[in-house]
Amino acid sequence: MANPFYLRDVVSIKDFKREELEYLFEQADRFLEMGYEEKSKYGRGKLMALMFFEPSTRTKTSFEAAMLSIGGHVIGFSGARGTSMEKGESLSDTIRVMDRYADVLVIRNPMEGAARYAAELAEHPVINAGSGSEEHPTQALLDLFTIRRLKGGIDGLRVAVVGDLKYGRTVYSLLNALKLYSVEVYLVSPPQLRIREEALYDLKGMKVHLDVELDEALKLADVIYVTRIQRERFPHPEEYEKVKGSYKIDARAMRLVKEDAILLHPLPRVGEIAPEVDGFGQAKYFEQVRLGRYLRETLLALILNENP
Ligand code: NCD
C-alpha cells in the first residue's frame, strides 16, 4: 500500500479507513524497534508547530518527544497568553503565520471545528490534537494501537467505555475508530453524561449496549476505557457538582475485572481510577502513554515522508 498519510491532514478519525489504520499500526510496530540513528532521518530538517489553546500535558509533550525522536524540531505556544492574540490577532492569521514556518501544524482548541478550519487555511498538514468535545483523533489512534499490541488484535473484543460519554472527545473518536472493527461496545455513564444522540447516530451498524451497569461491564469486558468528567465543558458549574465523583474504579471494582482484561484511560485522571489500582496487572494507562509516543512518531514520519 502506498503511504496514505503523506501530507495528509488528521482532523477527524472518520476520515480514515481500516486499511489505513492497519498500515499505520504496522509501521508503528517497526518504530518501536528502531534506534534513533535510523528514525532520525524521517524528521531531519523538518519543523513542527504546536498551537495549544487548551491545557495539555501528554498530548503536547508526546508530540514534542515524537518529533524530536525522529530528528525534527519543534516551535509553538501553549495558551494564547504571550502571543499576539492578546493584541487581538485572529485565529486565522495566527494559523497562516505558523503555516509559513512549519512543515506540519498541531492544533488544540476549545472550539469544535477549529482543526478543520486550520486545515482549510493551512497549506501544510494539520493534526487535530483536540477540538472542543468533538474529536481527538490521534488519541483514538494510540488507543487502538495500545489495544492491538496488548490484546494481539481488535476484532472480537468486548470494549467497555466508562465515564463522560457526552463531552468526552476521546470517547467520540475512539468509538468511531472501533466502528471499523468487529467489536461489541458497552457504554457506562451517569445518566446526565450519556452519549449524545447525534454521536450515537454515527455509530449505526455497530453493536452498542447502552446504559450498562458498571459492575456488569467490568465483569465481561476485555478492554475497559475510563474517562474523566469533562468539567470545563459543562455549561453550569452546578451541573458538574451533581455528577462529580459518581463513578470510581477502585480495588473492589478491580476484583470483578477479568484477569486478561486491560484498563485504559486517556489521562488525566482526577479520582475515577484510585491510585491503588495502579498495582493491578490490568492497569495499562501508563503503557498506553508510552506506546502513544511511538504512534505519534510514526504518524509524523508518515505525514512528512512519502516513502518511509
Ligand atoms: C484528553 C483530552 O484532552 O481530551 N487528554 C488527552 O489528550 N490525553 C482527555 C481529557 O482531558 O480528559
> pLDDT digit string (tens) for 49-61?
999 999 999 999 9
Asked if residue 228 has its Cβ within 6 Å of ligand 1, the reply is yes
- Identify residue 261 by its one-letter amino acid code: A
pLDDT at 269 over 90: yes
pLDDT of residue 80: 85
Q: What is the pLDDT of residue 139?
A: 98
At 16 the pLDDT is 98
- Specify burial of residue 259 (Cβ count, 10 A radius: 0-12, 13-18, 19+): exposed
Q: How many CA atoms does the CB half-sphere of 280 hold within 13 Å? A: 25
Residues of the chain above pLDDT 90, percent: 97
Task: Report the DSSP beta bridge partners of residue 157.
Answer: none
pTM: 0.97
Q: Which atom of ligand 1 is nearest to the CA of 54?
A: 3
Range(s) within the chain of domains with CATH label 3.40.50.1370: 13-132+292-304, 137-289
**CATH architecture assigned to 13-132+292-304:** 3-Layer(aba) Sandwich (3.40)
Classify the C-alpha dihedral 185-186-189-193 as positive or negative: positive
Share of the chain above pLDDT 70, in %: 100
pLDDT in tens, 117-127: 999 999 999 99
Question: Hey, whose CA ends up nearest to atom 12 of ligand 1?
Answer: 228
The mean pLDDT of the chain is: 97
* 3-class state of residue 68 by DSSP: helix
The predicted-structure confidence for 51-92, as pLDDT tens digits, reads as follows 999 999 999 999 999 999 999 999 999 998 888 988 999 999
What residues are labeled active site?
A: 58-59, 87, 108, 136
pLDDT in tens, 2-42: 999 999 999 999 999 999 999 999 999 999 999 999 999 99
CA distance 224 to 89: 43
| Cβ 128 under 6 angstroms from ligand 1 | no
**Type of residue found at 43:** G
Query: What is d(CA 172, CA 252) in angstroms, rounded to the nearest whole number?
Result: 28
**What mean pLDDT is predicted for residues 148-153?**
98
| Topology (CATH level 3) of domain 137-289 | Rossmann fold (3.40.50)
Task: Give the dihedral of Cα atoms 61, 65, 66, 69; nearest 10 deg.
Answer: 170
Q: Is the CB of 136 under 6 A from ligand 1?
A: yes
> In Å, how far are 19, 58, 93, 97, 206 from 173, measured between CA atoms?
17, 17, 28, 29, 14
- Examine the pLDDT at 308 and tell me if it is beyond 90: no
Query: Which pLDDT score, from 0 to 100, does residue 27 have?
Result: 98
Q: Is the shortest distance between the CB of 30 and ligand 1 below 6 Å?
A: no
137 in Cβ contact with 279 (< 8 Å): no
Among 278, 282, 285, residue whose Cα is nearest residue 259: 282
